[in-house]
Amino acid sequence: VEFNAGVAAMVAAVHQDDVAAYIGNLSGENAVTIGGEDVVLTTRNTENEEMSALATQYVYEFMEGLGLDVQYQEWDDTEEEVSGRNVIGELGGTDAADEIVLITAHLDDMPDEGPAPGADDNGSGSAGVMTAAATMAGQNFSRTIRFALFTGEEYGPLGSAAYAQECSDAGEDIVAVLNMDVMGWDANNDGIMYLGLRKK
């Protein structure tokens, strides 16, 4: 692996205080501004429709503020009788824009009533996605980068499965997925960062 000054600069731009603030904002430790109002996210559980809507709006506005092309993906699982929305921020690629890299985590937590801080599961992974987005926004990459935050994951892979199905139906070329889960505290050695690569 050869030294890359651009990558080194992005790594140096990551600061512990910023990551801690993202987790504090997501877990209700800090009040956050959402739609111009100060809000405390007491839970991010998908079945708490009010709080889930606020949590997804918070990360939507965060990514929009970075200059990313952001959209919601609505999903509805009739079998589990749960519905929600994912947040997808996109940084368009240059010469290989049709090839897509996903950086993902699930945003939701348990239980559906507060306080449900979910700082580790999965505020830590969500903060990882936010950190990657903040660090990479404004940079140029050959491939398209998407920063995806899924809901409905505490009830199974509901939001992520809906998004995967949409990408498959559209015939999109997903070449890599980096998924982050429960990374904040690893006393049981069960923190997960999973990197999936396209098979040739």
Rg over CA atoms, the chain: 16
For residues 165 and 197, the model is more confident at 165
- The one catalytic residue in 61, 153, 166, 172 is 153
CA distance 82 to 110: 14
β-pairing, 96-106 vs 173-181, is parallel
* ∠ CA 104-192-163, rounded to 5°: 25
For 11, 41, 59, 93, 94, the CA distances from 151, given in Å and listed in that order, are 28, 15, 12, 26, 30
Q: Is the dihedral of CA 130, 188, 150, 52 positive or negative?
A: negative
Catalytic residue list contains 113: no
- pTM given for the model: 0.94
pLDDT tens digit sequence for 86-134: 999 999 999 999 999 999 999 999 999 988 999 999 999 999 999 999 9
pLDDT tens digit sequence for 147-196: 999 999 999 999 999 999 999 999 999 999 999 998 887 666 666 677 88
Q: For 169, left (φ over 0), alpha (ψ -120 to 50), or beta?
A: alpha
CB neighbourhood size of 81 (10 A):
9
CA distance 27 to 119: 5
Beta bridge partners of 83: 76
